[in-house]
Amino acid sequence: MSKNTFLAFDLGASGGRAIAGILKNGKLELKEVHRFKNQMTLIHGSYYWNIFSLFDELKKGLKKCIDNFQICPQSVAVDTWGVDYSLISGNGQIIGLPYAYRDHRTNDIMDDFFNNILSKEETYLLTGIQFMQFNSLFQLYASVKQNYPGLDIAEHMLFTPDTINYLFTGIRKNEYTIASTSQLLKPGKAEWESRLFKAAGISEKLQCEIVEPGTILGKLLPEVSEQTGCGELLCVAVASHDTASAVVSIPAEEGSWAYISSGTWSLLGIESKEPLVSKETLKMNFTNEGGAEGTTRFMKNIMGMWLIQECKRIWDNEIELSWQDIVDLSLKAEPFKCLINPDDNLFINPGNMPEAIVSYCKAAGQPVPESKGEIARCIYDSLVLKYKYTIKNIESITGRKIEKLHIIGGGAYNEMLNQFTADATGIPVIAGPTEATAIGNIMMQAKALGVVNSVSEIRKVVRRSIDVRTYLPEPGLNWEKAYDRFMKLL
């Protein structure tokens, strides 16, 4: 077993990776040992995740780490996207494949819930969570409405990382940060809000014990050890919502800072000591999700790179473009020709994203984007303007001026978007780390095993270990005029 070596499994909606982290002389070194694709599976009109295939890929990653890289980690941990879950029967079997959050069964479910169960205000004040149609609360309510038979035999509910941990260890626990995405917890507390379960007709027996991030769950099952050759290895429940892990790794110091965890989603927010739940935050639809060390991630979920990812998927049928190709095409297009609200429900899972953007612009009475570059430019401009809008709202709610904006995750590679964000907001942007989620995962494993003592110490390690790039606001495009147009779309 390699000392101070940890293996992070970072699962996203479009792919997963196994990344080894080695802590040495106060610095962290990363080594990617396995990468694989992930996508929703469409079966008879419904979208699912193949949780068993994902588990096989993670075991493959662990085996490759040991066999190909001669790295035997002290522990493993998984982080994933939020809200999705598996149902577990009384005898420990996973009931079917878990639904994917972009499944269409929740398309109209929120209105049904507010009209028949609890009002929007009541629900928000109980949970402090942003309203999104695919939150676990609404997924479960949709299953109740549809008389989904799996609910009749389910004894436990495990969110995606909890499910993976269960497959690794046989232990059924809910980790706090991932459970907080469900809209089923009390604000800022690792406690289920039983009133929501009762009101929605969801069985309270689904509730598992909630553990804090940085909890050692136990050893891997003997069958997993045998398949991977890892011996006795610990499994840790880290901040297992990917954004929560990413926030742990922000190389921030003192002062008033915000972050954008930029990937399929853009999660824009601040780290708060307390949840911020009021009629004002309800009106602005902010979320209060759990963080490490009792903090709250007060933030907004913004549609993010999903818009570009889906366009690229369609365009690749015609011509294969790199991400940089798409950026280059967008730079040649006219700025602000057309704008969208990135969070319009039309864009959740339209099938053909370029067509959806054209339809939106037509319906809004705007010029229609006519090329790939114009569609991409529309997306990038609109995302930046949504960032500006969200930051203004955070400043209004907290009464604090944001002095620095940290952009972390894969989106931090996009230099154009980083500069546009600095220009539009007037706030210096600090880009990096791009591997924020894996770093946060690894360092929370280190904290669980006593190698580091706090998130503050983790951030010091990150500052010593990675290079960041700063983008200062520059004059140029008239972002204020574009912002006035954008506001009319909200």
User: Would you call 242 a catalytic residue per the annotation?
Assistant: yes
CA distance 48 to 27: 39
Q: Is 490 exposed, middle or buried (0-12, 13-18, 19+ CB in 10 A)?
A: exposed
Which ranges in 38-181 belong to alpha helices (H)? 51-67, 109-116, 120-127, 136-145, 150-153, 160-169, 176-179
Which ranges in 336-414 belong to alpha helices (H)? 353-363, 372-398
Determine which one of 84, 103, 242, 423 is catalytic. 242
CA distance 357 to 60: 39
- The DSSP letter of residue 208 is P
CA distance 182 to 193: 11
- The DSSP letter of residue 125 is H
> Within 13 Å and on the Cβ side, how many CA atoms surround 399?
1
What are the phi and psi torsion angles at 289 (to 5°)? -100, 155
Per residue in 444-474, is it b (16+ CB within 10 Å) or e — as a string?
A: bbbbbbebbeebeebbebbeebbebeebebe
Residues with catalytic roles: 242
